[in-house]
Chains A and B, each alone.
Chain A
Amino acid sequence: MSNVLSGSLAYIEVINILKLLVSGDRDGRLLLQKEEHQETGEIYLSGGRIIHALCGNYLGEPAFFELILWNHGKFAFDPEETTAQKTIEKDTGTLLSEGTQHYQAWQKICHIIPSFRIRFKKTGQEPPPNVKLKGKDWEVLNTLEAGELSVTEIADKLNTREIEVATIMAALMEAGLADIGASGKPVMKEVVSSNFFSNLENELVQIIGPVASIIIDDVIEGFGETRISFPKDKIPSLVEGISNEIYDPAKQVAFQQLMLKKIKSLH
């Protein structure tokens, strides 16, 4: 195996890696790996065209649209891994343009639905007068009649892409028609605000300089999380992980003192 391009998805989006490979007319395989679930996905290119993708049970475009949403884990591009399979017929330019739109759509809802594995329930409320549900919206809502389901489970039932279900679910939640289920609540941890990370970074820059941001992201990635999805209850472990990167004991304690105050103020 000869990887010419590899790294962490915490620093670069899948869509941007693909744009780079496409613009270089590359042949090969982009391997993506989520560490916490040991999940992998593959996207193949031939002469700068995206020709094949696979991810779990998905093949072709559904796999492609799933993989471009991955924002943590590792990637590696291997020019020697090629394939004769062709599961994507769509023009690569169009595919990348649609992919960018999907990624942007996901970014808008990921604060409401941070994971496809959280289960949702129907609230039983009637749709507000200003909300007009379409056929697909009703289909998604009706799957919750039988009990709590996750985005992944609903997508499987309706044979639809997860991002489509997630977008509908976010709208249903905003309309008060769906909510996070009891079984989903333990998984749906309260996440850290972006403000917290800005403060953390500012403090750490004072102590260890400009590498602060890289260290924070490395430690976050070590937990299999991102800044967007980082659960509040893991903050002490995050602080501990970052502290271990501060080699001056006095500065280490000063950082811990400061962070302990901030943690207490969050409760």
Chain B
Amino acid sequence: MKDKLEEIDSVDGVKASFMFFNDGELVYNKLAPGLDAEIYQEIAKDVVQMAAIFDRLGSHIHEYDLKYENGRVFAYTQNNYNIIILCNPEVSVAMLRLTVNVAIADLEADKKFQKRTSKIETSRRSYLVRSNMDPESWTLVETVN
């Protein structure tokens, strides 16, 4: 898994990437400057909640491109895991997408990875419970309901 993250990290403009399984496990190679594992968890939780809301709306989106003033965050949400990539604004999106597609294909062909993910629930619903959300997000979820 880490070797695949390393390949993603090697794309020009990528600061760091990490994987977040739906059961809460976080896998990463390196931390982006100024960030720690706790912040990775927070980012991952936000991404999964966002994906869970879209799942509920019936839109199964697999690629999210979140643009910020000083960077971009790409999130690739698969059935039971998510790849989150922190980038500079000028990252080559086509190269990144190509690398991620190949990394996902390699991961999913890997027996160990298949074994690991087979035990994880594919639904992200548990991330949309009130205890897991801040009041603002919860209000949004209630609107969707």
**A239 x B94 contact (CB < 8 A):** yes
Interface size on A, residues (CB 8 A): 12
**B98 x A236 contact (CB < 8 A):** yes
Q: Is the interface of A mostly helix, strand, loop or mixed?
A: helix
Q: Is the interface of B mostly helix, strand, loop or mixed?
A: helix
Interface status of B122 (Cβ within 8 A of chain A): no
> Interface extent on B, as a size class?
10 to 19
Give complex CA distance A260, B98 in Å: 7
Contact residue among B95, B97, B105, B106 (Cβ-Cβ distance under 8 Å from A263):
B95
**A239 x B102 contact (CB < 8 A):** no
Chain B residues within an 8 Å CB radius of A257: 102, 105-106
Give complex CA distance A166, B83 in Å: 49
Chain B residues within an 8 Å CB radius of A233: 92
Contacts of A209-267 to chain B: CB distance below 8 A: 233, 236-237, 239-240, 243, 253, 256-257, 259-260, 263
> Would you give the 0/1 interface string for B87-128, flagging 1 where the beta carbon is closer than 8 Å to chain A?
000001011011101100110000000000000000000000
* Residues of B bordering A, CB below 8 Å: 92, 94-95, 97-99, 101-102, 105-106
* Residues of A bordering B, CB below 8 Å: 233, 236-237, 239-240, 243, 253, 256-257, 259-260, 263
Nearest 3 pairs of A and B residues by beta carbon: A236-B94, A236-B95, A237-B94
